[in-house]
Chain A
């Protein structure tokens, strides 16, 4: 039994902490990455790339939000590719309804014009894409592929 574990159980025996608190502390010992308060934890995505890859085909799309809250999202570009390819297989009647609905919501994109050869071009050009948004309250949003 480790020293930390003994100390936690000792504090429980002495009544300094409750059983729930002891359980939480023991859980933290079991998973060092999850230990401590959430706000002070280092981001587990620290090893993710910090910007677009200079060469090669990008594999993932990254969305990083820093500021008051931190959000890291990593999405495989293969998902985007599969989604775009799926749009070309949607029945025409359904596609017309989708386009109409998107138009009503301010997105006048005709997905019927999206051809399979365009999809690869879109994916390839994502390598050079980087979106940087800095809000007035200090939040910073970055979107890039690497």
Chain B
């Protein structure tokens, strides 16, 4: 089940020579309740659509799996780290 949990925090740091850098710490975890409501509603709708498609004999009836796969994709982004350093700037993005 933990594999389906979206990122907790996204940390973005930008620094430039001669200018004050900034850091954005996005507590994505605060959006989880909203995401769960939206995902729950979407899964309900797709499950009904899939059942209707299955009953009608359609070959493709995997919309629920498609939504779950998309959530899984979002969840697996955790652990991504990007660090770019140039002569006069530095950008660092960490997704936890």
Q: Footprint of B on A, CB under 8 Å?
A: 20, 23-24, 27, 34, 37-39, 41, 43-45, 60, 68-76, 78-79, 81-83, 85-86, 89-92
Contacts and interface: CB of A to CB of B under 8 A. Distances in A.
Give chain B's interface secondary structure class.
mixed
Contacts of B62: 89, 91
| Chain B interface bracket (under 10, 10 to 19, 20 to 34, 35 or more) | 20 to 34
Contacts of B16: 38
Contacts of A75: 80
Q: Would you list the 8 A-B pairs with minimal beta carbon distance, nearest first?
A: A38-B90, A86-B69, A79-B76, A76-B79, A74-B81, A78-B76, A69-B86, A70-B85
A38 B15 contact: yes
12 contacts: A43-B83, A44-B92, A69-B84, A73-B83, A74-B79, A74-B80, A76-B78, A81-B76, A83-B73, A85-B72, A89-B66, A91-B66
Interface in B25-45: none
A88 to B, nearest CB: 9
